[in-house]
Amino acid sequence: MRERMSLSSFHGGHSRFSGGTDEVREIAEAAASKNFVAFGFTEHFQTPPMAMSPDMALHDQLARFDQYVADVRAAQQAHPFVLLGAEVEYIRGAFDWTREHVSRWPFDYLVGSVHYMPTS
């Protein structure tokens, strides 16, 4: 008999809060059905305002994060393997802004990313 793998994901769970269509609860239930031992939600955090340009879609994420955090915390009640995370954008000169705003929520972890590079 083949031994079963332990599954985990720490950069996934993009729900309706940042581009996906599924609810947090639905994603957590799917992870449970696949026997995940750890599953982290990492919705995209607000892009710092000093980096805003018209093509940056995540300019109003902070308004959604209270509900996102509440939904993940509710999923954790049924599925203790669920973790609360966020994907934060690295923008030169925005560290203090990001640190201040991220501290509003009790994240289990953060994933750093670079999506936007200066063209000049």
Rounded to whole angstroms, the Cα distance separating 98 from 114 reads 14
Question: Do the bridges between strand 82-89 and strand 109-113 make them parallel or antiparallel, or are there none, so unpaired?
Answer: parallel
pLDDT for the residue numbered 52 = 58
Mean pLDDT of 8-24: 83
The CATH architecture one would assign to domain 7-113 is Alpha-Beta Barrel (3.20)
User: How does DSSP classify residue 56?
Assistant: -
Name the residue with tokens 């000093």.
50
Mean pLDDT of 96-114: 93
Whether the pLDDT of residue 81 is over 60: the answer is: yes
Q: Which of 90, 92, 71 lies closest to 29 in space, CA to CA?
A: 71
Mean pLDDT of 36-63: 76
Q: Which of 53, 47, 44 lies closest to 17 in space, CA to CA?
A: 44
> How large is the C-alpha radius of gyration of the chain?
16
Strands of the chain (E only): list them. Answer: 7-12, 36-44, 82-89, 109-113
**Which of the four pLDDT bands, split at 50, 70 and 90, describes residue 111?**
very high
Mean pLDDT of 50-67: 68
Q: Kindly list the domain boundaries of the chain, sorted by start residue.
A: 7-113
Name the residue with tokens 């996906």.
20
**Which of the four pLDDT bands, split at 50, 70 and 90, describes residue 70?**
very high
The residue count of the chain comes to: 120
pTM above threshold 0.85 = no
pLDDT for the residue numbered 28 = 95
